[in-house]
Amino acid sequence: MEFRDLKHQYSVLKEAIDKGINEVCSTAHYISGPQVSELEKQLAEYVGVKHCITCANGTDAITLALKVWGIGEGDVVFVPDFTFFSTGECPAAEGATPVFVDVDERTFNIDPDKLEKAIIKVKNDGRYTPRAVAAVDLFGQPADYDRIREICKKYDLLLLEDGAQGFGGSINGKMACSFGDISTTSFFPAKPLGCYGDGGAIFTDNDDWASLLRSLAVHGKNAENKYDNIRLGMNSRLDTVQAAILEVKLRAFREYELDDVNKAAQMYNKALEDINLVLPLVKDNFVSSWAQYTVQLPEGTDRNAVQAKLKEQGIPSMVYYMKPMHTQGAFAGTYSTEADCPVTEKLCKTVLSLPMHPYLTQEDVNKIADALRNAL
């Protein structure tokens, strides 16, 4: 059994994907071929924003957004404590200070009440300038953007939506990657919409920011001449082969994969309801794209032993994440370690992610549920 069954997906999409790759190879437009601009058009339309700028990966997407806003030394970016490292790494790499905020125990996303308290604390400390919130759509469900947007407006903060795991999710029909002043996503293979390597994208309705993002992503080039470099930038482009693959996978994602992964989540919910677990909660009027299906084991459970027993049955599992951001060694000795995040600390000890993808069958889910029940 695969954790994210990319082999099965490829077998279903093989003919169209192979055709797309062959078209790129036959024309030899490997960088900035027409498939890239066409994909950007399709992504912007799907998300519901004016501009999509593709780039090399999701980490670069966050970095480019921060560069557009001029975020750097003396600035604070508020980041959930329970997330992948790059959300905090990118502000720190720009010289800014990530301040880590605890999350909601059921949705795993940043807690708006605790966010406001963290903002007030930083303002009262007076050492740093609050500049932005980097909210994460963890495991596929968008963060509580109605609340977060109100807080950002109240304290004059920019809002970055890190939708690396949330592409395809929505709130009241409004799509993930459209909630931020700038939003980003990742096309890492295991993401809800993934390519066959690294890739990322940035979304915004702001014309000036979009123009600057395109420049920064290609060595700070002039819009008309890539050899006229008018600012310092990066080398961060989505290659044409990946764009061709993503065109095919986006079509499948829109037509059936998003629906099917939500059906898989419902199968899990029913199969696991009699086991002593905390199941993931999707809020009313929210849709998750289920980057992960993550349960919480009873406190005190030997998680390693549970994983070992699942592995004996051929069932893979993963722990996202086993260490709070504010305790990562990269932030040792900095203001970033001054975080009060008991929910995150509890989650890091109890979460377990099970195989999740659109091609899961009822038989697969039943096997996983039986094995987990026996392991516990």
pLDDT in tens, 347-375: 999 999 999 999 999 999 999 999 999 99
Pinpoint the residues of the chain covered by CATH 3.90.1150.10: 256-375
Pinpoint the residues of the chain covered by CATH 3.40.640.10: 6-249
* Mean pLDDT confidence for 37-45: 98
Q: What is the pLDDT of residue 225?
A: 85
Neighbouring CB atoms inside 10 A of 3's CB total: 16
Measured N-to-C along each axis, helices 6-27 and 240-252 cross at an angle, to the nearest 10 degrees, of 140
Confidence of residue 125 (pLDDT cuts 50, 70, 90): very high
Task: Specify the DSSP element, H or E, that contains 38.
Answer: helix 34-47
Confidence of residue 226 (pLDDT cuts 50, 70, 90): confident
| Dist CA 55 CA 57 (whole Å) | 6
* Mean pLDDT confidence for 189-217: 97
Q: Which CATH class is domain 6-249?
A: alpha beta
Q: What is the pLDDT of residue 160?
A: 98
Share of residues in the chain with pLDDT > 90 (%):
98
Q: Look up residue 110 and give its DSSP letter.
A: B
Which amino acid is it at 270?
Answer: K
* Mean pLDDT confidence for 305-323: 98
Position 204 pLDDT exceeds 90: yes
| Dist CA 283 CA 269 (whole Å) | 14
Query: pTM for the full model?
Result: 0.97
Could you tell me the two tokens for 135?
């909210």
Q: What is the pLDDT of residue 114?
A: 98
Instruction: Collect all residues with Cβ–Cβ distance below 8 Å to 117 and sequence separation of at least 6.
Output: none
| Dist CA 72 CA 74 (whole Å) | 6
Q: Look up residue 333 and give its DSSP letter.
A: T
Position 209 pLDDT exceeds 90: yes
* Mean pLDDT confidence for 137-163: 98
Confidence of residue 224 (pLDDT cuts 50, 70, 90): confident
Q: Share the mean pLDDT of the chain.
A: 97
* Architecture of the domain defined by 256-375: Alpha-Beta Complex (3.90)
Position 345 pLDDT exceeds 90: yes
SS3 sequence of the chain: CCCCCHHHHHHHHHHHHHHHHHHHHHHCCCECCHHHHHHHHHHHHHHCCCEEEEECCHHHHHHHHHHHCCCCCCEEEEEECCCCCHHHHHHHHCCCEEEEECECCCCCCECHHHHHHHHHHHHHHCCCEEEEEEEECHHHCCCCHHHHHHHHHHCCCEEEEECCCCCCCEECCEECCCCCCEEEEECCCCCCCCCCCCCEEEEECCHHHHHHHHHHHECCECCCCCCCECCCCCECCCEHHHHHHHHHHHHHHHHHHHHHHHHHHHHHHHHCCCCCCECCCCCCCEECCCCCEEEECCCCCCHHHHHHHHHHCCCCCECCCCCCHHHCHHHCCCHHHCCCCHHHHHHHHHEEEECCCCCCCHHHHHHHHHHHHHHC
Q: What is the pLDDT of residue 243?
A: 98
Q: What is the pLDDT of residue 223?
A: 86
* Mean pLDDT confidence for 268-289: 97
| Dist CA 130 CA 120 (whole Å) | 9
Adjacent-strand bridge partners of 76: 97, 130
Q: What is the pLDDT of residue 129?
A: 98
